């Protein structure tokens, strides 16, 4: 399909006016649901994501229990109204894949061996989608897990980089994702820079890949600071530390 859309203008600005190394606007709020053990609401550009964390609690059905450690069940779900055409509700191929990769990423950082035979449920609801929902979901899940008081090695964070109009750029927007050349979402543990999730859509040369990875890691660290500030602000105000 030939598309005549100019993703980067002559001044080096992108469609939404960002430079090539700029993130979209991020807003995070922790502890928004009082019935869940931990929760988080996150806006990342046009994405709106709500995450609720339950547990650790007994894993049901019993055959899923691991006698040595807890299992992490992430459930990624897109609301029917989250995309332009109505999305058919319920799990599909794409959301099951994302649920699986997010579960595995979170299992790596939660101290699961402290809760044998238990399950930690992470419900990720995408209310509004605009490219990069898995990164938004995983970032929000990190905040919600910390808010739930679940022991973990680090607060996971995700960010994407990609290639549009022949250039490697940070954090693709909707048109850039649809008409760009490649998308590389990653999740890391910001303290150690360990990679928890890495997927790629499209084609990159080795140099472009390395450049995109560095850029995405840089983005992760920026987002991580916002995450930490959100949690600290919330608890310092609620607890009224004098």
Partner 1 sequence: MSNEERKIVLPSQVLGDTKSNRAGRGTFIEDGRIISGKLGILNANSNYINVIPLKGRYEPTVDDFVIGVVEEALSAGWLVDINAPSPAFLHVNEVPWDIEFGDTEKYLNRGDSIMAKVTQIDELKKFQITLKDRNLYKIKGGHIIEVEPSRVPRIIGKKGSMIALIKKYIRCRIFVGQNGKIWVDGDTESIERVLQTIYKIESEAITFGLTNRIEELLKKDAKDVR
**Residue appearing with tokens 């990875």:** 213
Comparing CB distances to partner 1, the nearer of 4 and 239 is 239
Min. distance of Cβ 36 from partner 1 in angstroms? 11
User: Closest CB to partner 1 among 38 and 162?
Assistant: 38
Task: Find, among 112, 44, 104, the residue nearest to 74 by Cα.
Answer: 104
E-state strands within the chain: 26-30, 38-44, 47-58, 71-78, 118-128, 157-164, 167-170, 182-189, 194-198, 201-202
Closest to partner 1 by CB, 71 or 184: 71
Return the number of the residue (126 or 155) whose C-beta is nearest partner 1. Answer: 155
Token code pair at residue 184: 């590389």
Rounded to the nearest whole angstrom, what is the least distance from the CB of residue 75 to partner 1 in the complex? 19
Minimum distance, C-beta of residue 217 to partner 1, in the bound complex (Å): 16
> Could you tell me the smallest distance in angstroms from the CB atom of residue 102 to partner 1?
18
DSSP, residue by residue, 66-108: -SSS-EEEEEEEE-TTSSSSPPPSS--HHHHHHHHHHHHHHHH
Least gap, CB of 29 to partner 1 (angstroms): 15
Is residue 137 within 8 Å of residue 145, measured between CB atoms?
Answer: no
Least distance in Å: CB of 154 to partner 1?
A: 4
Query: Cβ closer to partner 1: 75 or 117?
Result: 117
Cα–Cα distance for residue pair 54/9, rounded to 1 Å:
46
Query: For residue 39, what are the contacts with CB-CB under 8 A and spacing of at least 6?
Result: 30, 31, 32, 33, 50, 51, 52, 53, 144, 147, 148
Q: How far apart are CA 178 and CA 168, in angstroms?
A: 15
User: Given the complex with partner 1, which of 89 and 151 has the nearer CB atom?
Assistant: 151
Q: Which residues bind partner 1 (CB under 8 A)?
A: 37-38, 55-58, 67, 70, 111, 115-118, 146-155, 189-191, 228, 231-232, 235-236, 238-242
């Amino acid at each position: 399909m030939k598309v005549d859309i100019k993703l980067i203008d002559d001044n080096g600005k992108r469609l939404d006016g960002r430079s090539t190394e700029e993130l979209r606007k991020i807003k995070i709020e922790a502890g928004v649901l009082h019935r869940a053990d931990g929760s988080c609401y996150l806006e990342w550009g046009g994405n709106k994501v709500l995450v609720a964390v339950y547990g650790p609690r007994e894993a049901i059905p019993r055959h899923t229990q691991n006698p040595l450690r807890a299992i992490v069940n992430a459930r990624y779900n897109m609301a029917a109204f989250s995309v332009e055409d109505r999305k058919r509700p319920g799990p599909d191929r794409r959301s099951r894949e994302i649920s699986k990769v997010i579960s595995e990423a979170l299992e790596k950082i939660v101290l699961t061996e402290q809760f044998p035979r238990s399950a930690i449920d992470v419900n990720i609801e995408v209310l509004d989608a605009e490219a990069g929902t898995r990164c938004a979901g995983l970032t929000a899940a990190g905040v919600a897990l910390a808010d739930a008081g679940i022991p973990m090695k680090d607060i996971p964070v995700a960010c994407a980089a990609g290639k549009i109009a022949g250039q490697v750029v940070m954090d693709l927007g909707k048109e850039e994702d649809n008409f760009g050349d490649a998308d590389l979402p990653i999740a890391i543990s910001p303290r150690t820079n360990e990679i928890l999730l890495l997927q790629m859509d499209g084609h990159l040369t080795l140099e472009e890949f390395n450049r995109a990875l560095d850029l995405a890691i840089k983005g992760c660290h920026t987002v991580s600071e916002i995450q930490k500030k959100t949690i600290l602000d919330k608890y310092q105000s609620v607890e009224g530390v004098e």
